């Protein structure tokens, strides 16, 4: 695969609770701006969860998670990560390639729905 071919990524942003409490739309716009600077095509960017952290990060005891699905060139991930490290609003970020996601899972993630799969029946053996 070429470095110029966009790849699907899933990103989890841990945002500062203080910045999100005052301007939640501004924080989402800040993350979107970082993705736009990297020429990423954003498929979904949603607030995922607000939690108490296991340990304080930069003096914060609580944080809000934003989850994003986007397509970007692999070379641009380092630029997004650098922008996150320079941002005072982003405490942590994690990127993974979302090659494991099928069309149904991606559509559900974009729409914000959850998928519950039924277990497949076990075939009875005639032994």
pLDDT in tens, 73-118: 999 999 999 999 999 999 999 999 988 887 887 788 777 654 444 4
Report the distance separating Cα 71 and Cα 44, nearest Å: 10
Domain count of the chain? 1
Q: How many CA atoms lie within 13 A of 69 on its CB side?
A: 18
21 vs 10, which has greater pLDDT?
10
- CATH code of residue 28: 3.30.70.60
Q: What is the pTM of this model?
A: 0.79
pLDDT at residue 72 tops 90: yes
In the prediction, which pLDDT does 120 show? 57
The answer to whether residue 102 sits within a structural domain is yes
Q: Which two tokens stand for residue 32?
A: 């979107």
């Amino acid at each position: 695969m070429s470095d110029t071919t966009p790849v699907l990524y899933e990103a989890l942003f841990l945002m500062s609770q203080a910045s999100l409490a005052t301007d939640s739309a501004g924080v989402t716009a800040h993350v979107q701006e970082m993705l736009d600077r990297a020429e990423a095509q954003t498929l979904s960017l949603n607030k995922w969860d607000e939690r108490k952290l296991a340990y304080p990060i930069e003096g914060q005891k609580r944080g809000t998670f934003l989850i994003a699905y986007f397509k970007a060139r692999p070379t641009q991930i380092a630029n997004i990560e650098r922008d996150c490290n320079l941002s005072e609003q982003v405490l942590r970020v994690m990127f993974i390639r979302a090659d494991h996601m099928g069309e149904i899972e991606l559509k559900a993630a974009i729409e914000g729905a959850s998928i519950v799969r039924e277990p497949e029946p076990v075939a009875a053996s005639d032994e």
